[in-house]
Amino acid sequence: MKWKYALGIVMFFLATVNKGFSQPCDTLVTNGGFACDSLGGISEFAQGLVPGWSQAWGSPEVSNAFATPDPTTYAKFWCMNTTSEAIMTPVAITSGNQYVLKFWYQRGFEEVNPVDFLNCHLFNLAGSGLPSPGILIPAGQNIVTITNISSTNWVEATYCFTANANFTDLLIYSQNLDPLSGWIYLDNIRIFPIELDVPDYALDCISPTEIQPNCWLTSDIATYSWTPSTGLSNANIANPILSPTV
């Protein structure tokens, strides 16, 4: 016997610190912890020493000078008076699909000034080229802009978004709009697709079966609603037990 159940998910659009997946999902970002072939250069990104990542503009670096969530290396980049540094990585984003972006960030110790903006942005390098460094929000889709970053403690952020087009690249950059310079540290960047597809379940009507989507989130990030609710142990969790009555 096959039962067809549908799952709806309501996402919370911002969550910080200790938010995670109950079941591991594949991230679309390669080397989100910035493992580096060699440290100590002027710009490890510009030299091609950070697998999966490249310099977008400026001279972004990789460092292991301070403790990190990863726990070894992190990216660091500078900004001042609309001049900034940026990094980018290929990602495969499909129009209309939902995703979760997670990362850690903090203000760097090099300066005491807060950073005005940290932007995570989707674009198509081959189609539209690299955005201009002086534009706050370039063409493409801006996932999030974090403002007035002053804490030197690591903060984990979670942002959910629906892609408004197909995109091939993720761009991350900071900006200060005044003459004061600032630094940003960044670590453990991940993008997960939100999987809503639920397969049909073939049951022998004797053994209860746990059902779940391919990739699911904890209740502090999302709420769940299964329909129909008949035969489910709980229609509002990601992985209820299905015991159909025949």
Q: In the beta sheet, which residues pair with residue 41?
A: none
51: tokens are: 């697998």
Asked whether the beta carbons of 123 and 167 are under 8 A apart, the reply is yes
Residue in the block written with tokens 């799952």: 7
Q: How does pLDDT run along the chain (246 residues), one tens digit per residue?
A: 445 555 544 443 322 222 233 345 678 999 999 999 888 777 899 999 999 999 999 999 999 888 877 778 999 999 888 788 999 999 999 999 988 899 999 999 988 889 999 999 999 998 777 777 767 678 899 999 999 999 999 998 888 899 999 999 999 999 888 788 899 999 999 998 876 555 555 555 556 777 776 666 656 556 777 777 777 888 888 778 877 655
Asked whether the beta carbons of 182 and 174 are under 8 A apart, the reply is yes
Q: Which residues contact 245 (CB under 8 A, 6 or more apart)?
A: 230, 231
Residue type at 151 in one-letter notation:
S
Residue in the block written with tokens 């500078």: 78
pTM of the model: 0.76
Going by DSSP bridges, is the β-strand pair 61-63/167-175 parallel, antiparallel, or unpaired? unpaired
Q: Which residues contact 85 (CB under 8 A, 6 or more apart)?
A: 57, 58, 59, 60, 77, 78, 79, 173, 174
71 preceded by a cis bond (ω within 30 of 0)? yes
